[in-house]
């Protein structure tokens, strides 16, 4: 938990601000949703992404 609360000053940052825009769930979201037992997470993320296009 300490790392979550710590600002990483040497974290890689894209050169182009447009690269920071969220365009939808990443491919590994299915695995993460299974790991945290959140079966509706992927569907919610896909629905949210559809509203932002």
What's residue 2's pLDDT? 63
Domain residue limits at 23: 1-53
- Looking at the structure of the chain, the number of domains it has is 1
Segment 5-17, tens digit of pLDDT: 778 889 898 999 9
What's residue 37's pLDDT? 95
- Rounded Cα distance between 14 and 16, Å, is 5
What's residue 8's pLDDT? 82
Segment 2-46, tens digit of pLDDT: 667 778 889 898 999 999 888 899 999 999 999 999 989 999 999
50: which 2 tokens?
A: 């559809």
Confidence check: pLDDT of 1 > 90 = no
């Amino acid at each position: 938990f300490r790392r979550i609360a710590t600002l990483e000053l040497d974290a890689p940052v894209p050169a182009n601000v447009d690269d920071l825009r969220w365009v939808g769930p990443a491919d590994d979201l299915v695995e993460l949703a299974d790991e945290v037992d959140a079966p509706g997470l992927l569907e919610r993320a896909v629905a949210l992404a559809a509203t932002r296009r």
